[in-house]
Amino acid sequence: MTASPESPLTALIVDDLANQGWSHQCLALPAELTAKLAEECRVRSADGSLAPASVGRGEGQQVREGVRGDRIHWLEPGQSAASDAYLALMDDLRQRLNLELYLGLEDFECHFALYPPGAFYQKHLDRFRDDDRRTVSVVAYLNADWQAEQGGALRLYLAEGERDVFPEGGGLVVFLSAELPHEVLPATRERMSIAGWFRRRGGPL
Ligand SMILES: O=C(O)CCC(=O)C(=O)O
Ligand SMILES: [Fe+2]
Tell me the per-residue pLDDT of 38-86, one tens digit each, with 9 for 90 and over. 999 999 999 999 999 888 877 778 788 778 999 999 999 999 999 999 9
Mean pLDDT of the region 194-199: 98
pLDDT for 131 equals 79
- Residue 64 backbone zone (phi > 0: left; psi -120 to 50: alpha; other: beta): beta
Question: Is the C-beta atom of 187 inside 6 A of ligand 1?
Answer: no
pLDDT in tens, 109-164: 999 999 999 999 999 999 877 778 999 999 999 999 999 999 999 999 999 999 99
pLDDT for 129 equals 72
Count the Cβ atoms, other than its own, within 10 Å of residue 67: 16
pLDDT for 203 equals 59
- H helices present in 24-149, as ranges: 31-46, 81-101
Q: How confident is the model at residue 1 (pLDDT cuts 50, 70, 90)?
A: low
Closest-lying ligand 1 atom to the alpha carbon of residue 137: 10
Distance (Å, whole) CA 43 – CA 64? 25
CA torsion through residues 144, 87, 68, 105, sign: negative
Question: Is the C-beta atom of 114 inside 6 A of ligand 1?
Answer: no
Please tell me the distance between residue 183's alpha carbon and the centre of ligand 1 in angstroms. Answer: 7
pTM for the model stands at: 0.94
Dihedrals φ, ψ of 25, to 5°? Answer: -120, 120
Ligand nearest to the CA of 53: 1
pLDDT for 4 equals 54
Buried b (16+ CB within 10 A) or exposed e, 13-37: bbebbeeebbbbbeebbeeebbbbb
Task: Look at ligand 1, atom 9, and give the residue with the nearest C-alpha.
Answer: 195
CATH of 8-47+68-200 given 2.60.120.620, 2.60.120.380, 2.30.40.10, 3.20.20.60? 2.60.120.620
Task: Look at ligand 1, atom 5, and give the residue with the nearest C-alpha.
Answer: 195
Please tell me the distance between residue 68's alpha carbon and the centre of ligand 1 in angstroms. Answer: 9
- pLDDT reading at 3 higher than 50: no
Kindly provide the residue ranges of all beta strands, DSSP E only, lying in the chain, ordered along the sequence.
22-25, 51-52, 71-74, 105-115, 121-124, 134-141, 154-158, 161-165, 172-176, 182-184, 191-200
pLDDT for 2 equals 53
pLDDT for 14 equals 97
